[in-house]
Structure formats: C-alpha cells, structure tokens
Amino acid sequence: MMCLAVPGRIVEIVERSGLKMGKVDYSGTIATACLEYVPEADVGQYVIVHAGFAISIVDEEEARKSLELWSEIEEANKKEGLDKFGMPLENSGVDKGDQTQ
C-alpha cells in the first residue's frame, strides 16, 4: 500500500507529555500530529504528516496547488463511480445518491 501525502494546515499547537503536538486541518477533518520532527512549525503553516508525525513543512502556494489537484482527482473519480482513493463507491460506504455529476 502506498502513502499519499495531503497537506494539512496547523490550527493549534499544544504540548502533550512533553511533546510538541498540533491539530491539523485536512479540508475540514481535524487530526492530531506530532510536530517534533518540524519544531519550527507554527499555527497557519501547512505540513505533510506520515503515521501521525509531521515530516515536512509545505509553503502555502505549494499546499494550495496540491489541494487543487486532489479536488480534480476526486471529481474525476466521482464521474467514474470511484471514491477519492479510486475504490468503487458501492464498496466505500458512500451513498451513490450523494454523488454530484
């Protein structure tokens, strides 16, 4: 299986058990990530997270381009009856009636 890196925007930074942690917004989905590998990361910046660890900071322009491409892929997949990961919608738990054509 391949890991697909989607940029997320840091919306909050907290310390948890002595570790720098951040709440990261992925287009409305908030997840917690460890920021120890990118100690210079700050609220408002975009990061790439792998296995719960932010591994790089991405500038806003690059993040915007990447997110636009993800949107294009998602729209193309919907037209083909696939979810955002390329799996058939009937197997993804998504109601096909929710698709926009």
Please provide the CATH number assigned to the domain covering 8-83: 2.30.30.140
85 neighbors 64 (Cβ within 8 angstroms): no
In angstroms, the Cα distances linking 29 to 7, 19, 94 are 12, 22, 17
pLDDT exceeds 80 at position 2: no
Per-residue model confidence as pLDDT tens digits over 19-76: 999 999 998 899 999 999 999 999 999 999 999 999 999 999 999 998 898 888 888 8
- The distance from CA 76 to its chain's CA centroid, rounded to whole angstroms, is 18
Query: Mean pLDDT highest for which of 1-5, 23-27, 81-85?
Result: 23-27
Q: Range with the lowest mean pLDDT among 38-47, 73-82, 86-95?
A: 86-95
Confidence of residue 83 (pLDDT cuts 50, 70, 90): confident
